[in-house]
Structure 1
Amino acid sequence: MSTVAELYTHHLATLQHRTEQALARGGFDHLVVPSGTSHYQVFDDRDYPYAVNPQFKAWLPLTRAPGSWLVVTPGQKPKLVFLQPFDYWHVVPSAPSGYWVEHFDIVVIRKPEEALQHLPSDVARCAVLGEAQSAVGAFVPNNPPAVVNYLEYHRAYKTPYEVEMMREATRRGVRAHHAAERAFRAGASEFGIHLVYCQAAGQDANDLPYSNIIALNEHSAVLHYTDRDLVAPTSARSFLIDAGAAHNGYACDITRSYAHDAGSEFQAMIDAVDAAQLKMCDQVRAGTDYKQIHIDAHIALAGILKDFGVINVSPEAALATGVSSAFFPHGIGHGIGLQVHDVAGFAASDEGGTIAKPEGHPYLRLTRVLEPGMAVTIEPGLYFIDMLLDEVKKNGHADSVDWKRVEAFKPFGGIRIEDDVVCTEAAPINLTRDGFSQAA
């Protein structure tokens, strides 16, 4: 088995090749990437949490190095201009160390403007990727589309190093998910479960790749519920947790649903969604159109609704009339990697263009055909959301639904099961299920 250092060496070679191609497309000689800087709140001296530029952390596992710069010139060793300021107000970034440093020429600076001494002499020959506020002198991010489109399109294909980083993030996330479930069973509040999760993950809200969704009972019907009640409900019926973790800049994205009563009908519905989700994960195969997985998910989920007496029409009819979308209103998933919702999900090619979403499914975040190396989430869900169910009635399809069954399930909110899955030349790698199996 290859070591992380060996995997990283291969990863870096892949990035250098992609960069050479991207720069040629755009007519540039150098790729210059700022790590990013802090944002300050308007009319205040408080800063927002720092988030590293994804184009920067694609190259090296530095996620807390604001004010630094990366310079990549084909045929030369990449250069890291590393800001290590004299500062007694804040923690100063530690000197670079680890398996990756030998691959870079590293220059340490003490003030942001000192970076200019170490950046290419002709800024016009540089593709500068980042936010406008990262500018130093004439080095203002220009984000040329030809370069960005190429790099982001190919970022969908994860290197073995990136898959290993996601696997490590998953191990951390699984550990925290187990702790969160125990807290739910013990009667903790949403906020209390959140704190338990962060402690088990070893990451606070600013370190996690996205804001934890910790939802009890009806709150599970709010897709991005982040309010987190401080007091536990009198009766905890259900628990939906959508929470991830990060490792060296890479994310995992895991969702699980639980019923308080293991023998309840709602737990039976969770089990049915879980079984269907596993079959959807197995569809993550080379040559499969991701849009088709989404459509197939509607058929499978509508079948579950029919089996539980919630709808009384065929799954195909539920899909055609939009009834299934009232219960499953989001997409089946998205790309994942350096970002939770990774880029270029709709890209027609590395030159740009857009692959349209299926008509009537506006929230799907990925429309590409799957190929080896792509990492995606598979996250089917069933929810009981008043405003969407009201639309079913307004659209003339009320007879398709057994409203007494809806009322029986509404107190539980909803169900979502989500795994991170890597497409290969053969069977897919389910990072999430592997993580749970290894932690068992």
Structure 2
Amino acid sequence: MTTADPALLYPQHLAVLTARADEALARSGREHLLIPSGRRHYQVFDDRDYPFAVNPHFKHWLPLTGVADSWIAYSPGRRPKVIYLQPFDYWHVVPEAPNGWWVGHVDVEVIRTPEEALQLLPGPPERCAIIGEANSALGSYVPDNPAAALDYLHYQRSYKTPYEVALMRIAQRRAAHAHRAAERAFRAGASEFEIHMTYCAAARQDATEVPYQNIVALNEHGAVLHYTELDRDPPAQARSFLIDAGASHHGYAADITRTYAADRGGEFQAMVEAVDRAQQAMCAGVRAGADYRQLHVDAHLALMGVLREFGVLRVSPEAALATGVSAAFFPHGLGHPIGLQVHDVAGFAASDRGGTIPRPDGHPYLRMTRVLEPGMVVTIEPGVYFIDMLLDEVKKNGHAASVDWARVDAFRPYGGIRIEDDVLCTDAAPENLTRPAFAD
């Protein structure tokens, strides 16, 4: 897989952002767009700060994720200004001098204290659209996140520029490399904690740098959708391994899930392969004009077909969907938008002027309801699980006859299966960003 040089793509990306900013300002009746990078949050009754999370709108403009109390100031017809905090500080590492592919395309002002930004921000504040967290307020410059501007900017973030896709490809490669290392650790008998540490070492990112908390689940733990406990000791017998883990590159996320069987010739491995085939067919459905809600419903039917094939279901996929039985085995959504944030914005947006598209009835956890368009990147992450509390609901709701409980008992010790790729919608066939990274 080849990746274009982000430095060469950045000028066009910046041109797209300034054009979007012009429109957002016009819609909100403001003259200037201000984006604070964010301020550090501190733990209550303590002087320890939480890991810094930069304002996603800030890193949309600049490949900077670690600079606090800095600002982007943009006025139509003028070059963006970056107000860059480089403090005098001997307690912490000071951000290095501004450098990289972005520097030559903006005006940079270096400040030594956060308050120095006040002399450099355009005004008056009430004529500015200030996009960010409330704690980023500086004097009279208080983030107000005008809805007309934010609805437009969030909606447009759905359409990734070539620059953004290039950064996401690099994140994919980093994550795929770490996934390979994690599988090797699993097959060598490592514990969940040891696999997690192996993953982070291979990704060369620690737990505060990966885009979300790693899910590393052995055996029955795979039935906990967001399992993050990380047992320090390996189980007496490792049967299965589910890992949902990503990586970041200049603020852009990869989100990948894989499931492995300890016994490569057993029935659970065969079920993993069947889910993988179904997942690849779902990825092929990421095409312009496809309704993501319908893809989600179709995923239920496909997964119930797998369970029927393996004797877990006694009824048709259609019957399992209609009665809610399918939701006991596949309780989450098919996926979500991804980019600057793992669960990226505007997944429900009706238009760039606001409004929401509702989820299908009976599917409360779906994270996207829009029709797919070129430039969107979404995850496709179907899963089947053997979750006791949900299976008990099937019995309570009078649908016990729909399930072969002896077959459930046979698969329960494996927890579940989830397989996830990140897929780019194009004008033609979809482009799976994840599979080529594994092939490399």
Query: Does residue 426 of structure 2 align to residue 424 of structure 1?
Result: yes
Query: Does residue 333 of structure 2 align to residue 331 of structure 1?
Result: yes
Aligned to 2:72: 70
* Residues 265-296 of structure 1: per-residue CA shift (max 9 Å, x gap): 00000000000000000000000000011000
Query: Does residue 278 of structure 2 align to residue 257 of structure 1?
Result: no
| Secondary structure of residue in 1 paired with 2:296 | helix
Aligned to 1:225: 227
| Secondary structure of residue in 1 paired with 2:179 | helix
**Unaligned segments of structure 2, at least 5 residues:** none
Aligned to 1:184: 186
> What code does the residue aligned with 1:346 have?
F
Deviation for aligned residue 1:121: 2.5
Aligned to 2:288: 286
Cα distance in 1 between the residues matched to 2:142 and 2:92: 26
Query: Does residue 210 of structure 2 align to residue 208 of structure 1?
Result: yes
Change (3 A) 1:2 1:208: closer
**Unaligned segments of structure 1, at least 5 residues:** none
Q: Give the % identical residues.
A: 69
Cα distance in 1 between the residues matched to 2:223 and 2:316: 24
Matches within 5 A, 1:134-145: 134-145=136-147
Cα distance in 1 between the residues matched to 2:360 and 2:4: 41
Q: Residue 6 of structure 2: which of 4, 7, 24 is its match?
A: 4
Deviation for aligned residue 1:6: 2.3
Query: Does residue 51 of structure 2 align to residue 49 of structure 1?
Result: yes
| Secondary structure of residue in 1 paired with 2:61 | coil
Cα distance in 1 between the residues matched to 2:166 and 2:331: 32
> What code does the residue aligned with 2:97 have?
A
Query: Does residue 349 of structure 2 align to residue 361 of structure 1?
Result: no
| Secondary structure of residue in 1 paired with 2:216 | strand
User: Is the Cα contact below 8 Å between 2:4 and 2:166 reproduced in 1?
Assistant: no
Cα distance in 1 between the residues matched to 2:197 and 2:337: 28
* Residues 57-108 of structure 1: per-residue CA shift (max 9 Å, x gap): 0001000000101001111000000000011111111111111111110000
Cα distance in 2 between the residues matched to 1:251 and 1:99: 20
Cα distance in 2 between the residues matched to 1:243 and 1:89: 32
> What code does the residue aligned with 2:393 have?
E
Query: Does residue 395 of structure 2 align to residue 386 of structure 1?
Result: no
Aligned to 2:323: 321
* Residues 29-67 of structure 1: per-residue CA shift (max 9 Å, x gap): 111010001111111111111000001000010000001
Q: Residue 61 of structure 1: which of 42, 60, 63 is its match?
A: 63
Aligned to 2:23: 21
* Residues 213-238 of structure 1: per-residue CA shift (max 9 Å, x gap): 00000000000000000000010000
Compute the RMSD of aligned alpha carbons. 0.7
| Secondary structure of residue in 2 paired with 1:405 | helix
Aligned to 2:268: 266
Aligned to 1:98: 100
Cα distance in 2 between the residues matched to 1:2 and 1:384: 42
| Secondary structure of residue in 1 paired with 2:434 | helix
Cα distance in 2 between the residues matched to 1:374 and 1:127: 26
* Residues 112-145 of structure 1: per-residue CA shift (max 9 Å, x gap): 1011010012111100011111111101100101
> What code does the residue aligned with 2:376 have?
M
Deviation for aligned residue 1:5: 2.1
> What code does the residue aligned with 1:372 have?
P
* Residues 174-211 of structure 1: per-residue CA shift (max 9 Å, x gap): 00000000000000000000000000000001110000
| Secondary structure of residue in 2 paired with 1:58 | helix
Aligned pair count?
Answer: 438
TM-score (norm 1): 0.99
Deviation for aligned residue 1:2: 5.5
> What code does the residue aligned with 1:358 have?
P
Cα distance in 2 between the residues matched to 1:147 and 1:76: 19
| Secondary structure of residue in 2 paired with 1:399 | helix
Deviation for aligned residue 1:431: 0.4
| Secondary structure of residue in 2 paired with 1:33 | strand
| Secondary structure of residue in 2 paired with 1:303 | helix
TM-score (norm 2): 0.99
Cα distance in 2 between the residues matched to 1:214 and 1:80: 39
User: Is the Cα contact below 8 Å between 2:5 and 2:166 reproduced in 1?
Assistant: no
Cα distance in 2 between the residues matched to 1:128 and 1:325: 42
> What code does the residue aligned with 1:148 have?
L
Cα distance in 2 between the residues matched to 1:283 and 1:396: 34
Matches within 5 A, 1:341-356: 341-356=343-358
> What code does the residue aligned with 1:422 have?
L
